[in-house]
Amino acid sequence: MRYVSQLLQVRLPLKPRFSGLGDFIKVLPKKLLVFLNRIKYIGVTGEMSPIEKSKLGIFNSLNFFQFITGIVVPVMGLISAQKFPASGWIIVCLPALVSVFVLVLNYCHKHELALLTYFVLYPFFICFNYINGISLGVELSFILYGILSVFFIQDIGYMIFSISFSMISYFFLSVILKKYIYQLEQINFVAYLVNQGLAIVYIFYGLYLIKTENANYNTTLYQTNLEIQKQSNQLKQQAEELDQLNSLKNKLFSVISHDLKAPMYALRNLFDNIHSQDMPAEEIKELIPEVKKDLNYTVSLMENLLQWAKSQMKVHSVRPQLINITDLIDEVMHLLHLQAEAKRIYIGKKTSGPVYAWADHDMINLVLRNLVSNAIKFTPPGGNICIGASELSTFAEVYVQDSGKGMSAKEVKKVNSEEFYTTNGTAQEQGTGIGLMLCREFLVKNDGCLRIESEPGKGSTFSFTLPLAD
């Protein structure tokens, strides 16, 4: 009895808590619900899966109600039986006591032993009742045990044994052994009907449990498959990103080892010649323009590489602010005017006034600088470039239009791809494609997008959009 009192955790107050019968009736449903909830969670541990907890809760509730009905119905039915022996009362109550023993085993976390006890001892003691000449009208319970064994028992051999034992017992007691000394049907027909009705209710309840369990299992399996598919897609995406990064790494090493090395060597050779050969000023002046061109390319490349590295390391966070695009165009024109003058290219500006946008100033400065630098690169000497900006209804638009050699549809597709693509300029200027890649990345981070329009021999127009300030 010590285990029973512990697992039910019933506390009897020393003083009555209710001022009247009305208060007691109001509080009773809540107390009963709490009590049944405690029964349901007997033996539940944190290591159990949700399905295991659900099954154990159902098993505990089933045993509790079978204990109640196994005591109340037979006692109420046989109380009017004449000359019913005292030992008969013990025999009648044995199946109900099995339910108490099962709850105690679950409380002690002996869950497998509790299942074994239920599916062996419960039908055994019912058979013991019938063999001793006491028919309680619970033959249908054997069908219930067969159904419940499918739901609760995982081991196939154990399940087959339980089903076979229940069906053989049902056939023997209902078909072969028909004469009993004490038959509840004759002693108390109402109690007999109640027992039969409860058996039918339990049977349909068992079928409902199996159906619900299958539905829950299918749902869980479907969700698990979705999660596995999601993880598979993530792994696939990460693998693709790793491949792209690996390709990018190889390209960057190629750029660093070749494109940065050549200008440095040229500059070193120039200074070596000046130092060792005492070159005259005229020869030095002849070499300086070429070296300067290489250095301009190197500076631009190093700046793009540093910006790209910062963006990949997530160091370059976006700091949006109100920027005047018209002033930004002036800054870029002033910065690149020497590069344009070297190719006799005219750069013009076309704006109707200040154009404001909400974006990161440094990022958009780099985007505009790269686009204008590319326009100079692919525009022949004597050509012209127009930089314009305007405010539309929901965004600001900036464009760089040149009169250069233009691009075919195939070349535009390559430029729009995520890979590096570059060609030499009209004066054989070299490039890496990093600048345009940075432009796309920075525009995306600022809620903008890049658009390219070009035809061979008719020049190109690079335009991008930015959100307006609120």
Q: Closest Cα partner for 149 from 55, 72, 67?
A: 55
% residues pLDDT > 90 (the chain) = 7
Higher pLDDT, 283 or 257: 283
- Confidence band, pLDDT 50/70/90 cuts, at residue 357: very high
> Maximum distance among all alpha carbons in the chain?
139
Most confident region among 58-67, 231-240, 249-258 by mean pLDDT: 231-240
- pLDDT tens by residue, 317-335: 788 899 999 999 998 888 8
- pLDDT tens by residue, 4-53: 444 444 444 444 444 455 555 566 677 778 887 888 888 888 888 877 88
| Segment 392-421 mean pLDDT | 82
Q: Closest Cα partner for 127 from 149, 157, 95, 153?
A: 95
Q: Closest Cα partner for 247 from 439, 446, 47, 419?
A: 419
Q: Closest Cα partner for 402 from 421, 380, 424?
A: 380
| Segment 313-320 mean pLDDT | 67
Helix (H) or strand (E) holding 232: helix 189-254
The strand pair at 346-351 and 356-359 is best described as unpaired
> What is the full DSSP assignment across 264-298?
HHHHHHHHHHHHHH---HHHHHHHHHHHHHHHHHH
Burial of 367 (C-beta count, 10 Å sphere; 0-12/13-18/19+): buried
The strand pair at 321-324 and 356-359 is best described as antiparallel
Distance CA 149, CA 259 (A): 76
Residue 431 confidence (pLDDT):
57
Q: In the 8-state DSSP scheme, what is residue 48?
A: S
Residue 417 confidence (pLDDT):
72
Which residues touch 470 (CB under 8 Å, ≥6 apart)?
358
Q: Determine contact, residues 104/4, Cβ cutoff 8 Å.
A: yes
Distance CA 439, CA 311 (A): 12
Its pTM surpasses 0.75? no
Using CA atoms, how far residue 452 sits from 400, 436, 447, in Å, is 10, 11, 17
Domain ranges across the chain: 41-228, 260-316, 318-470
* Exposure b/e, 6-27, CB count within 10 A at least 16 = b: ebeeeeeeeeeeeeeeeeeeee
Residue 295, both tokens: 């250095």
Q: Determine contact, residues 350/397, Cβ cutoff 8 Å.
A: no
Q: Express the helix, strand and coil content of the chain in percent, nearest 5 each.
A: 65, 10, 25
Number of Cβ within 10 Å of residue 458's Cβ equals 13
CATH number for the domain formed by residue range(s) 318-470: 3.30.565.10
Q: In the 8-state DSSP scheme, what is residue 80?
A: T
> What is the full DSSP assignment across 307-373?
HHHHHHTT-S----EEEEHHHHHHHHHHHHHHHHHHTT-EEEEEESS--EEEE-HHHHHHHHHHHHH
Number of Cβ within 10 Å of residue 197's Cβ equals 12
Q: In the 8-state DSSP scheme, what is residue 246?
A: H
Could you tell me how far CA 364 lies from the centroid of its own chain? 34
Helix (H) or strand (E) holding 63: helix 50-78
Residue 387 reports pLDDT greater than 90: yes
Q: What is residue 419's three-state secondary structure?
A: coil
